[in-house]
Every structure is written in C-alpha cells, then in structure tokens.
Amino acid sequence: MSAASSRKPAPNAVTADEVLAAHFTLANVPGAIEAIVLDGASGWTSPNPHPVLSLMRWTTPDPAQAAADLDTVLERFRPERRGFDWMTGPRCAEAGLTELMAERGFVPPALQVAAMVKELGPECLDAEEAVDGYRICRAPDDDRQAWQLMASGFDVPEEVGEAYHRAYVTASPHQRTDVYKAETTSTADIAAVGYLSWIADGANVLLRVSATAEQHGGKGLYRALVLARLAEAARRGARRAFVHAYSEWSQRALAQLGFSEVGRLQLHRWRA
C-alpha cells in the first residue's frame, strides 16, 4: 500500500471510496446496461455476457449484508457461467469484506487501482497543450470511431466498447458524459479518445477511460486529452477531477499533471 493510501484523510478531503462511487453512476440503457441494486450492493450487468460488462460494488460495511448480496450475485451469474468483476475501496478492506472474495473463489490477485484527485482552479484554463498535427475537440455522441478505439485500446470486442459508450453518453440525474477526441489535422482520422463525466450536480468530474491508437502513440495525446478535459471542467465550474488509474504509467503521468493518490481500490474478478 502506498503512503497516500495509508494516510487518514484530512477533514473534508475526498476519499478513495468517493472516487469509487463516482464510477457507479450509470443508468439503465436498454440493450447495453442493466442496473443492479441490492440492499447493500449496486452495479450493472448487460445482455452481452462479456465479464467486463458486469461490475458490482458494496454500499454497506456490514459483513452479513455484504455476504448475502455477494451470494445473490453469484447465484444469478453462476448458472450462466458468466464472469463478473467487483470493485472495493478502503472501507471494504477495513470491514474485512475482501476476505469474502477469497472464500468464494475470486481470481487472485485483485488488480490494484489508484484513486486519484486533482483540485481544479484557474490555472487549468491555460494549461491546454497543442500537439503538432492533431486537434483536440468534442466528438459526437454517435461517433462509432470513438467506441471502436476504446475497445481496441482495452482489447475487448467492439460491441463491449459500444455498450459502455452508450451507457456513458446516456445522461441521468447521476451523471452526464462528454466525449473528446484527438484527430489528425490532415485527414480527421481519430487518434485518441477520452470521456469526461459530470457527476451529479457537476461539482466533481470523473475522467473515465482514455485510449490512443497504437500508430499515434508517443505523441503526447494522452496528456493533451487530460488537460483539455480539465480545462473544460474548470470553465464550467467543476471543483475537482477524479480518475481511476489502472497502470503505473498512467499513475505517473497523472501525478505529473497535479493528481494526487488518495487511496487504493481493488478490482476482484470472478470467472466461471
């Protein structure tokens, strides 16, 4: 565990569990995402059986309720031999809930995810960076190239990328998402994509997935897309930006842009 994840948060500081909760804001989208709400857990599944399209989290620290809800989800998916993921934060670890995963045969080890936060101020407005040969702009909600690139970047089928794309851009009282892209100035080919979600009233934003086409890697497009989304969030009055950083590379890149790790999340996998 990092020093950042072991420190007690300062009063009124954002916690890793808040960053976790910001991810679980998707609404029902017929054909793409079906919400699951239990007494002590929430998440979603999909008509598509790919395991990354079924994701849950606990909303209770009570071990008995947590065990009951975990078993409910297992009873739903086990007969279909459908895999799914479960994300936990520090509160779950403190309550001993992660031990329930090992007892039920989740695949070890859990993937470690850094919950990172950046305070947004006027400096974000002037921090955007141009990349020669590319332009950063909003992508239309129905931009097929966006979800194709997302799927390719995460090595999942195109229909998985489309399902998440549709879920992201479907607005609800809990979230609304804008899609940004980097495209070549010569041919307007999409080179990178990133999603910016406004959580609830918009005081906080979540930088969701980002992906860069392999042939356009190493040009600084990831950094440029982060800075463009932060600038837009600041312009529209957001105060904080959250992100889930899955790799050491992204953690280092985000730290260089002013993000701080506030704790560790864990992604647990159950596979039939």
Structure confidence at residue 230 (pLDDT): 98
Structure confidence at residue 53 (pLDDT): 98
Task: Give the Cα separation of 68 and 74 in Å (integer).
Answer: 10
Structure confidence at residue 13 (pLDDT): 87
pLDDT in tens, the chain (272 residues): 333 344 444 445 899 999 999 999 999 999 999 999 999 999 999 999 999 999 999 999 999 999 999 999 999 999 999 999 999 999 999 999 999 999 999 999 999 999 999 999 999 999 999 999 999 999 999 999 999 999 999 999 999 999 999 999 999 999 999 999 999 999 999 999 999 999 999 999 999 999 999 999 999 999 999 999 999 999 999 999 999 999 999 999 999 999 999 999 999 999 98
Structure confidence at residue 12 (pLDDT): 54
**Which spans in 78-220 are helix H?**
90-94, 99-103, 144-153, 158-169
Structure confidence at residue 6 (pLDDT): 43
Structure confidence at residue 2 (pLDDT): 38
Reading the block at residue 213, the tokens are: 């086409």
Q: Which residues of 54-91 are buried (b: 16+ CB within 10 A; e: fewer)?
A: bbbbbbbeeeebbbebbeebeeebeeeebbbbbbbbbb
